Every structure is written in C-alpha cells, then in structure tokens.
Amino acid sequence: MIIDLQKVKNGELNLIAVNKNINIIRDTIKSWDWYDENLYSCEIRTDDIDNYFDVIDSKGVSSYNSDIHAIWEPISKKNTTIIRTEGDISPFKRSLSFSGIECYAIRIYNDNNTYIAYSFQKMDQNGDSDRIIQYINEGYRSEFYQEGSLLPFENPEYYRRRRKIDRINPEIIIEYMDALGWNILDDKFWISSKYAYKDVRTFIHE
C-alpha cells in the first residue's frame, strides 16, 4: 500500500475517531471547562476538511501560532465523528474518555527522520488507555511500546519484527483504522455532508 499523506500538513496527522454522532460529541466538547479559553468557533460547510488548516478566516487568525482543530462527520462512515488537531491531541482523547466516550486516537509524525512518532491508541469510557501501540525515534534513541490486550483486528506478527519502526508505522495504523471502518486514504473520509466545525485557540489575538 502506498501511503498518501498529501492531506497531512507538514507531515503530521493527529486524529481522534469516535463511533458517535457529531452533535453528541460537539455538545460534550463544549461542556469541558478547559475548552473555552481564548477560543472561537465557526461552522463551515465544505467539501474539503483539509483546507481548514490553510484558510485565514474573518477574524484574521491563521494556523500560525494557533491551536486549530476540525470536527466533522465523514460521509464514508456516517453517524461517527472525526477530530483532527494541529496541536496536542491528548486533552481531547482524555476528556472524551472521562466523559464516558470510547475513542481511537492516532498520530503519524515524521520530521525528516529527526523525530518520528507513530501511535495507535484506544481510550476506554473511564479515562484510561485500553490499548496503545507506539514507536518513538528521537534521533539518539528509538523505542517501541505496547500495553493492553490485543484488539480483534490487530496482527501480532507485526510486533515481532526485528526493526522497531516496522512494528507500528503509517501502513499499519491506516490498516487498523480501515478495520474499524475509517479509511483515511479515501477522499470521502475528508468530506462532510453536514456542517463541520473549525475551532481556533489562538495565542496572538484576543
């Protein structure tokens, strides 16, 4: 499989996938105490979620020095919700889990091989990590780590490979997401037939 990461700005993809309606997830997110600080939101009906991360909006805030995230229902798997962030994904996955919502979180990041981070994680409904597989390479050292029980679609043979980077990588992450019903290589994954949300937490504007 050839991995098409053209939709991934700066070679980074942080995603959370939830098997719940977008209205439920949106209301849940808005209830979090930490979420409304220096934040504004807008609704955009679009055929290209990825453009959210490039457009300067009416308030003059671009992606520079801002934490931007998009929330949408992919037409490839209706009644589910995707959250994509350019900032830290951890507050979202933990808060969803503490709110009693199971979710899957992935990270694909490769900074010209100077820093690499690949991870696949399932969060349970109690604020805990139910399953995590990850590979980190900081240049001077690399680490493969896994914890939790195997999920039904996992291939444990991957984790016995000699090279750590071959145990969890973009191909495997995409395979696991596809097994869950989210094919991130499908253009329909990036298209929403409903209103999607773009939120910006900015550190350079009021």
Instruction: Give the model's pLDDT for residue 152.
Output: 97
Residues 172-179 have a mean pLDDT of: 96
Q: Rounded CA gap, 193 and 191, in Å?
A: 7
Sorted by sequence, the CB contacts under 8 Å of residue 61 that are 6+ apart come out as 200, 202, 204, 205
Give the up-direction half-sphere exposure of residue 165: CA atoms within 13 A in the CB hemisphere. Answer: 12
110 pLDDT above the threshold of 50: yes
**Least confident span in 26-30, 106-110, 175-179:** 26-30
Query: Environment class of residue 94 by beta-carbon count within 10 Å: exposed (0-12), middle (13-18) or buried (19+)?
Result: middle
Contact of 200 with 82, CB cutoff 8 Å = no
Instruction: Give the model's pLDDT for residue 121.
Output: 97
Q: Rounded CA gap, 155 and 106, in Å?
A: 17
Contact of 117 with 136, CB cutoff 8 Å = yes
176 pLDDT above the threshold of 80: yes
180 or 10: which leads in pLDDT: 180
- The pTM of this model reads 0.81
Q: What is the pLDDT of residues 64-77, one digit of tens each?
A: 334 567 888 999 99
202 pLDDT above the threshold of 70: no
Q: Hey, what are 31's tokens?
A: 């209830």
Q: Rounded CA gap, 65 and 61, in Å?
A: 9
Single out the residue of 188, 170, 8 nearest to residue 84, CA to CA: 8
Residues 152-165 have a mean pLDDT of: 97
Q: Rounded CA gap, 34 and 26, in Å?
A: 14
Angle at which helices 90-98 and 22-30 pack, to 10 degrees? Answer: 100
Residues 165-173 have a mean pLDDT of: 94
Residues 88-114 have a mean pLDDT of: 89
Confidence of residue 60 (pLDDT cuts 50, 70, 90): very low
Among 84-93, 176-185, 188-197, top mean pLDDT goes to 176-185
